[in-house]
């Protein structure tokens, strides 16, 4: 006949102590998830995501555009996606165009991207564009705004109101009220 061996009283006490520690430290209610609550309400069909990555490729399979956002909220009713903390990188033959803003809105039908809140566009070698709001069409590579803009290249700068720029053709036109400083 076999004999039953019980663990030592010290090991039994240690096991009970660990079980009690786990029991009392375990959360008594669900842990809160980070809130993504645009417009004060979430409706059926809405979708929200964090750390979003969007890619666009050329017909030959080469990465053409890479966009990231801290959060995205899709509203199917309004056919739009609202973005926070957005960065767009457009890959070009002579360098990468960076476009960043605090907020963005992607229209699902036209794919037009509207960015606002401290918009900064930078292009190699040392060109920067600063404004508060732009419209960017990823299909055509056209950036437009009616806002005040500041274009910087090295120590030179130009300010004005309104902008039309082609990322593909590498052209920028400030539309009116143009002033600037050029130091050769």
Domain assignment present for residue 31? The answer is no
Q: What is the pLDDT of residue 86?
A: 93
Q: What is the pLDDT of residue 110?
A: 86
Domain assignment present for residue 114? The answer is yes
By residue range, what is the domain housing residue 125? 47-181
Mean pLDDT by groups of 10 residues along the chain of 184 residues: 66 75 67 51 65 86 88 83 90 85 90 91 86 90 91 88 85 86 78
Q: What is the pLDDT of residue 40?
A: 54
Domain assignment present for residue 9? The answer is no
| Measured distance CA(71)–CA(98) in Å, rounded | 19
Tens digits of residue pLDDT in 99-135? 999 999 988 888 899 999 999 998 877 889 999 999 9
Global pTM reads 0.70
Place of tokens 């645009």: 38
* Domains of the chain: total: 1
Kindly write down the DSSP assignment for every residue of 104-126, as one continuous string: EEEETTT--EEEEEEEEEEETTT
Q: With left for phi above 0 and alpha for psi between -120 and 50, is residue 71 left, alpha or beta?
A: beta
Domain assignment present for residue 37? The answer is no
Q: What is the pLDDT of residue 45?
A: 54
How many residues are listed for the chain in this entry?
184
Domain assignment present for residue 40? The answer is no
Q: What is the pLDDT of residue 87?
A: 93
CATH number for 96:
2.60.450.10
Listed in order, strand segments (DSSP E) in 93-170 are 95-107, 113-123, 127-137, 142-153, 156-166
Q: How far apart are the first and last CA of the chain?
A: 102
């Amino acid at each position: 006949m076999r004999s039953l061996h019980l663990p030592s009283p010290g090991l039994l006490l240690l096991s009970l102590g660990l079980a009690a520690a786990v029991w009392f430290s375990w959360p008594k209610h669900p842990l809160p998830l980070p809130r993504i609550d645009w417009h004060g309400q979430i409706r059926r069909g809405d979708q929200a995501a964090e750390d979003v990555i969007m890619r666009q490729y050329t017909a030959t399979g080469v990465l053409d555009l890479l966009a990231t956002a801290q959060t995205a909220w899709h509203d199917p009713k309004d056919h739009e996606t609202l973005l926070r903390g957005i960065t767009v990188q457009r890959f070009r033959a002579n360098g990468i165009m960076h476009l960043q803003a605090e907020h963005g809105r992607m229209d699902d039908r036209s794919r037009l991207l509207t960015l606002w809140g401290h918009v900064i566009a930078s292009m190699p070698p040392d060109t920067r564009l600063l404004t508060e709001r732009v419209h960017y069409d990823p299909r055509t590579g056209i950036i437009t705004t009616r806002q005040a803009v500041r274009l910087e290249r090295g120590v030179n700068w130009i300010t004005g109101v309104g902008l039309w720029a082609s990322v593909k053709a590498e052209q920028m036109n400030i539309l009116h009220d143009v002033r600037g400083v050029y130091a050769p």
